[in-house]
Amino acid sequence: MADTAKIDYKNIFYPPGGILLWIIIYLELLTFGIALVFMALNARTEPEVFHESRMLLNTAYGAINTVFLLSSGWCMAQSVHFLKTENFGKSKLFLKLTLLGGILFLALKSVEYYDKVEAGLTVGYNVFFGYYWTLTLFHVIHVIVGIVILLVLGRTLSKKPETLKVEDYESGAAFWHMCDLIWLLLFPIIYLLF
């Protein structure tokens, strides 16, 4: 690796993944958080609509997708660990498993979206589904961006692992974990709460 120098994570300017990525993470969480608060406020004025709409969602799909993302996050953490110990083979293997988790998430989400469109539960169906489509699609875009970032990192890891910086790899991993964090807020509130 080009830079294996020990990073002082306790320094406020060097959180794992880099300060820039963490600023992005907080801004993303804040954006989704504000939308979820507005969703909860709307649910207060139309509790029946929100409850009936929530019951139209497939909780099993949401729970399975949570398992896919959490497992993918576990693989990503392992991949970073093996990169730091310069075990590039295992790092690559876990990166591929991470990507598989992301692709499975997108595949199941596509099935879920297809079911909803077939049933006529589109973005304009009611307020609840407006939030459902907006928030989950926005999250899906993040997952797709995360997959692209991991593919780029994976290419370097396969071709020139010695040039890959731990900081860059940690930043990519932090972005991927951010998708987990966002989903861990969306799943309980959209699929389970109302």
Partner 1 sequence: MERTFNATWLVLIVLTIISAVFANLDFAYAALIILGLSFLKFIGVAFFFMELKRANVFWRVLLVAFVVLLLTVVWAV
In the complex, minimum distance from the CB of residue 43 to partner 1, in angstroms, rounded to a whole number: 8
In the complex, minimum distance from the CB of residue 3 to partner 1, in angstroms, rounded to a whole number: 18
In the complex, minimum distance from the CB of residue 160 to partner 1, in angstroms, rounded to a whole number: 25
Instruction: Enter the tokens of residue 41.
Output: 């406020």
Question: Do residues 173 and 74 lie in contact, with contact meaning Cβ atoms separated by under 8 Å?
Answer: no
Instruction: Closer to partner 1 by CB, 155 or 175: give it.
Output: 175
Instruction: Enter the tokens of residue 193.
Output: 């709460």
DSSP annotation string for 92-126: HHHHHHHHHHHHHHHHHHHHHHHHHHHTT--TTS-
Contacts of 70 (CB under 8 A, 6+ apart): 180
In the complex, minimum distance from the CB of residue 81 to partner 1, in angstroms, rounded to a whole number: 5
CA–CA gap between residue 163 and residue 188 (Å, rounded): 41
Residues near partner 1 (CB under 8 A) are 9-12, 15-17, 22, 26, 29-30, 33, 36-37, 40-41, 44, 59-60, 63, 66-67, 70-71, 73-74, 76-78, 81, 173-174, 177, 180-181, 184-185, 187-189, 191-193
In the complex, minimum distance from the CB of residue 39 to partner 1, in angstroms, rounded to a whole number: 8
Instruction: Closer to partner 1 by CB, 67 or 137: give it.
Output: 67
Instruction: Closer to partner 1 by CB, 69 or 157: give it.
Output: 69
Instruction: Enter the tokens of residue 86.
Output: 């310069």
Instruction: Closer to partner 1 by CB, 6 or 159: give it.
Output: 6
Contacts of 173 (CB under 8 A, 6+ apart): 17, 76, 77, 79, 80
CA–CA gap between residue 23 and residue 26 (Å, rounded): 5
Instruction: Closer to partner 1 by CB, 46 or 120: give it.
Output: 46
